[in-house]
């Protein structure tokens, strides 16, 4: 549905409704499932939304606060880029809102003229008519006056309207066809950037307007070209409103026809010369390696997949990517120092910021089952946390899972990103974190705890990553012991 249509019908998409009241889409779906919020073909009425969230502080507007900060400090260039749309886009959206305001004013004037005329007619009939007419007209007049003098909308409703308009000024919603997935384009993001940030894997290649792999047909709404492109569309494509998603942003809410990546088979093997951005120690024998790809050659991968890293001395090893595909340029890896691993030795002894590390991949099928409506349990052992982190960040970006529970059994380097996990559970109502010390938790007792915490474990999807020994116990205890469906347990070996 186009922006105008959805607005005219006064219905909100779930994505927009969730953003307005500041909850996850998953939380909204939970309310719908429980019958606490009514939907109309996947949309909700503003009044139902306000009724379902009566305590929501609409005035507590983070976006507005950010905006004020930006005004206060003109030098926060990066933040401004992230928050504010291009001036041309902002101007078009403002012009759209102004037209809407003008139309609404004209309509209000028209209604006022009609009611004045009606009131005059009532007076006329009251004077000229007999008793019977007066008995009918009197209460009608009273009712009309009462309705006209009613209080203007409450502060709460006004605050909602302000926030809704502000959201429409600062962001545009994209709906993908035929899948109906939705996401917001914010700031100066391209449609492709915004899709990746939302955890949606679209087809793309160069990210630079050259290869044409990201082209898609705009079915409704307006887009804006943000950078020069070399790709040439055919006449037929031009007539059908094709655009490059890596070079366009959305001005209004839009619908586009495009195909998402269906699975690992759709992602090509890539060879990329990355640069070391930073090496952070995470423990005596553990480092967090930050690699950055060139702007025009980013790594396309699915959360949970691995790549082969090769240093300039020819040493190579496979590592799971420990970051989310929503940032396809900045990649993270958790490297454990192991005697027989020449690459890790090289990283600990010689590698420094600015050096080149070659990357080949992605590979592996430890990926999220995105079609599953089930809640998620993550079991990490030691540095098995790396691919689990990627999955969790992706699941958060997708905002689909009703609930997630992470159990992390410490390896030799403890829970080396404990604060990060705690911040996830502090920030999200639907995320639970249970760190388990290595010495107290053998794998069987961990699984007993998981089953005790979740007696309905059969309703979950489970993702486990760690040593072969750990995975073997998980498989035998869960699948053989508890008859957990093997199809819903995905595992990844990480030493």
With contacts defined by CB under 6 A, how many residues of the chain interact with ligand FES?
Answer: 14
Copy the structure tokens of residue 147: 């309705």
- The residue (of 170 and 214) whose beta carbon lies closer to ligand FES is 214
Interacting span for ligand FES (CB under 6 A) from 119-127, 130-138, 207-215, 396-404: 207-215
β-pairing, 431-436 vs 404-409, is: parallel
- Strand order of the β-sheet with 460-466 is 431-436, 404-409, 375-381, 460-466, 489-493
Rounded Cα distance between 322 and 332, Å, is 5
* Distances, alpha carbon 320 to alpha carbons 27, 198, 383, in Å: 30, 21, 10
What's the sign of the alpha-carbon dihedral 426, 427, 429, 434? negative
- For position 325 contacting ligand FES by CB under 6 A, the verdict is no
Interacting span for ligand FES (CB under 6 A) from 181-189, 199-207, 250-258, 373-381: 199-207
- The residue (of 17 and 206) whose beta carbon lies closer to ligand FES is 206
Give, in degrees to the nearest 5, the angle at Cα 81 between 80 and 85: 95
- For position 270 contacting ligand FES by CB under 6 A, the verdict is no
Q: Whole-angstrom distance between the N-terminal and C-terminal Cα of the chain?
A: 49
Rounded Cα distance between 299 and 293, Å, is 7
- For position 204 contacting ligand FES by CB under 6 A, the verdict is yes
CB of 14: closest distance to ligand FES in angstroms? 29
- The residue (of 216 and 380) whose beta carbon lies closer to ligand FES is 216
Residues 215-244 binding ligand FES (CB under 6 A) are: 231, 244
Torsion over CA of 243, 247, 250 and 254, rounded to 10 degrees?
A: 30
- For position 246 contacting ligand FES by CB under 6 A, the verdict is yes
**Which of 49, 174, 202, 206 forms a contact with ligand FES (CB under 6 A)?**
206
- The residue (of 258 and 413) whose beta carbon lies closer to ligand FES is 258
CB of 200: closest distance to ligand FES in angstroms? 15
Rounded Cα distance between 185 and 256, Å, is 13
- For position 133 contacting ligand FES by CB under 6 A, the verdict is no
**Which of 26, 187, 199, 209 forms a contact with ligand FES (CB under 6 A)?**
209
- The residue (of 98 and 240) whose beta carbon lies closer to ligand FES is 240
Contact positions toward ligand FES, by CB under 6 A? 204-214, 231, 244, 246
């Amino acid at each position: 549905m186009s922006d105008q249509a959805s607005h005219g019908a006064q219905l909100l998409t779930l994505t927009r409704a969730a953003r307005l009241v500041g909850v996850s889409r998953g939380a909204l779906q939970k309310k719908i499932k429980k019958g606490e919020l009514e939907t109309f073909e996947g949309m909700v009425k503003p009044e139902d939304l306000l009724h379902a969230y009566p305590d929501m502080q609409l005035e507590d507007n983070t976006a507005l606060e950010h905006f004020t900060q930006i005004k206060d400090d003109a030098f926060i260039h990066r933040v401004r880029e992230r928050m504010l749309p291009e001036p041309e886009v902002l101007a078009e959206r403002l012009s759209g809102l102004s037209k809407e305001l003008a139309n609404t004013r004209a309509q209000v004037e028209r209604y006022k003229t009609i009611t004045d005329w009606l009131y005059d007619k009532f007076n006329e009939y009251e004077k000229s008519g007999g008793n019977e007419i007066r008995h009918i007209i009197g209460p009608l007049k009273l009712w009309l006056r009462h309705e006209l003098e009613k209080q203007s909308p409450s502060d709460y409703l006004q605050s909602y309207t302000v926030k809704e308009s502000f959201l429409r000024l600062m962001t545009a919603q994209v709906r993908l066809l035929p899948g109906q997935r939705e996401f917001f384009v914010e700031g100066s993001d391209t449609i492709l950037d915004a899709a990746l940030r939302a955890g949606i894997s679209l087809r793309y290649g160069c990210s630079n307007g050259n290869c044409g792999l990201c082209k898609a047909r705009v079915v409704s709404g307006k887009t804006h070209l943000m950078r020069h492109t070399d790709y040439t569309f055919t006449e037929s494509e031009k007539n059908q409103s094709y655009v490059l998603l890596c070079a366009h942003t959305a001005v209004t809410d839009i619908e586009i026809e495009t195909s998402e990546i269906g699975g690992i088979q759709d992602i090509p093997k890539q060879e990329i010369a990355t640069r070391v951005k930073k090496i952070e120690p995470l423990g005596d024998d553990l480092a967090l390696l930050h690699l950055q790809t060139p702007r025009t050659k980013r790594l396309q991968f699915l959360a949970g997949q691995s790549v082969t890293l090769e240093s300039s001395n020819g040493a190579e090893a496979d590592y799971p990517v420990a970051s989310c595909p929503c940032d396809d340029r900045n990649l993270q890896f958790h490297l454990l120092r192991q005697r027989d691993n020449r690459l890790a030795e090289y990283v600990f002894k010689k590698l420094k910021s600015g050096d080149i590390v070659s990357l080949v991949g992605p590979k592996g099928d430890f990926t999220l089952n995105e079609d599953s409506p089930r809640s998620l349990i993550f079991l990490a052992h030691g540095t098995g946390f790396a691919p689990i982190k990627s999955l969790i960040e992706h699941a958060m970006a997708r905002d689909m899972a009703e609930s997630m529970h992470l159990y992390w059994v410490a390896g030799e380097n403890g829970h080396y990103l404990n604060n990060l996990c705690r911040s996830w559970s502090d920030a999200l109502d639907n995320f639970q974190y249970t760190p388990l010390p290595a010495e107290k938790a053998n794998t069987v007792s961990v699984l007993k705890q998981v089953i005790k915490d979740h007696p309905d474990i059969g309703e979950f999807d489970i993702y486990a990553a760690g040593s072969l020994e750990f995975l073997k116990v998980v498989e035998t205890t869960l699948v053989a012991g508890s008859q957990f469906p093997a199809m819903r347990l995905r595992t990844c070996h990480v030493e």
